[in-house]
C-alpha cells in the first residue's frame, strides 16, 4: 500500500512529505511508548502514535521507519516537523483515534507487524 493511499484512507494532513509519498508501506504498528517502538520496529513500516515529540522522529530514524502518523489530531511543534524534514521521514496527521486509524488501515489490507515478520533478535516473549 502506497503512503499516499494511507493518507487518503485516514483523511490525513501531510505535515512532511519528504518527497516520498509514493513509497510502498508493507506493514504498520501502533504504539505510544518509545521503548516499545524500539522493540517492535523494522524497515518499511508505518508507525501510528499518539506521541508528537522529537524522540519519536529520532526513534523513527534509528529504526528506519518508513513514515509516522500522529493520531487523534496531535499536532507536533515546528521543531519536530523541521527534524522530520531534515531526516527525510514523511509525517502525517490524522484526526482519527489510534483505534480507528488502525482499524481503517487494517480493513483496507495493511497488515500489522507480527512475530512472523519481525526481525529475529526482537524476541518479545
Partner 1 sequence: MGIYYHSVRLDREKCKGCVNCIKKCPTEAIRVRGGKAEINETKCIDCGECIRICPNQAKIVVTDDLEKLQEYEYTIALPAPALFSQFKPETEPAVILEALMRIGFDRTFEVAVGAELITQAIREEILLKREKKPYISSACPAVVRLIQVRFPGLVSHIIRVRAPMEIAARMAKEAAARETSLPLSRIGAFFITPCPAKATAAKQPVGDDNSWIDGVFSMNTLYRELHHKAKSVTVDARLHQATGLGMGWGRAGGENKAIGSGSLLSVDGIHSVVAVLEEVEKSGMGEIDFLETQACVGGCIGGPLVVQNPFVSRVLIRKMAEKYGRKPLSIPEEQTAKMVAGGYMATSKIIQPRPVMQLDEDIGRALSKMVLLEKTLQSLPGLDCGSCGSPSCRALAEDIVIGVAFESDCIFKLRERVGILANEMVELAQKVPPAMGRLQPAAREEGIVRLFLSEVVEILDAGLKGDPVDPLRQVTGAYCSDLLSDVMANAKEGDIWFTIQTHPNVVAVASLLNLSAVVITGGKEPDPETMDKAKQENLPLLVTKTGSFEAAGKIYCFLHERK
Contact residues for partner 1, defined by CB under 8 A: 28-33, 36, 40, 48, 50-51, 72, 97-100, 102-107, 110-115, 124-125
Min CB(29)–partner 1 separation in Å: 5
Nearer to partner 1 (CB atom), residue 44 or residue 82: 44
**In the complex, minimum distance from the CB of residue 99 to partner 1, in angstroms, rounded to a whole number:** 4
- Least spacing, CB of residue 83 vs partner 1, in Å: 21
Q: Cell 489510534: give the residue.
A: 98
Coil vs helix vs strand at 94: coil
Query: Who contacts 97 (Cβ-Cβ below 8 Å, separation ≥6)?
Result: 71, 72
For residues 79 and 54, is the Cβ–Cβ distance under 8 A? Answer: yes
103 grid coordinates: 482499524
Q: Which CB sits closer to partner 1, 4 or 111?
A: 111
| Helix 78-87 × helix 54-63 angle, to 10° | 20
* Structural contact between residues 70 and 47, judged by C-beta atoms closer than 8 angstroms: no
- Residue 14 vs 39, nearer CB to partner 1: 39
44 or 72, CB closer to partner 1? Answer: 72
In whole angstroms, the minimum distance from the beta carbon of 39 to partner 1 comes to 8
Amino acid at each position: 500500500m502506497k503512503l499516499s493511499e494511507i493518507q487518503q484512507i485516514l483523511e490525513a494532513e501531510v505535515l512532511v512529505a519528504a518527497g516520498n509519498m509514493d513509497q510502498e508501506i508493507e506493514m504498520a504498528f501502533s504504539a505510544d511508548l518509545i521503548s516499545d517502538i524500539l522493540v517492535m520496529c523494522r524497515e518499511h513500516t508505518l508507525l501510528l502514535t499518539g506521541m508528537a515529540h522529537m524522540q519519536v522522529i529520532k526513534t523513527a530514524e534509528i529504526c528506519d521507519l518508513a513514515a509516522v502518523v500522529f493520531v487523534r489530531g496531535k499536532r507536533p511543534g515546528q521543531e519536530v516537523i523541521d527534524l522530520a524534514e531534515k531526516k527525510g521521514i514523511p509525517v502525517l496527521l490524522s484526526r482519527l483515534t489510534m483505534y480507528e486509524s488502525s482499524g481503517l488501515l487494517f480493513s483496507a489490507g495493511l497488515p500489522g507487524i507480527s512475530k512472523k515478520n519481525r526481525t529475529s533478535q526482537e524476541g518479545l516473549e
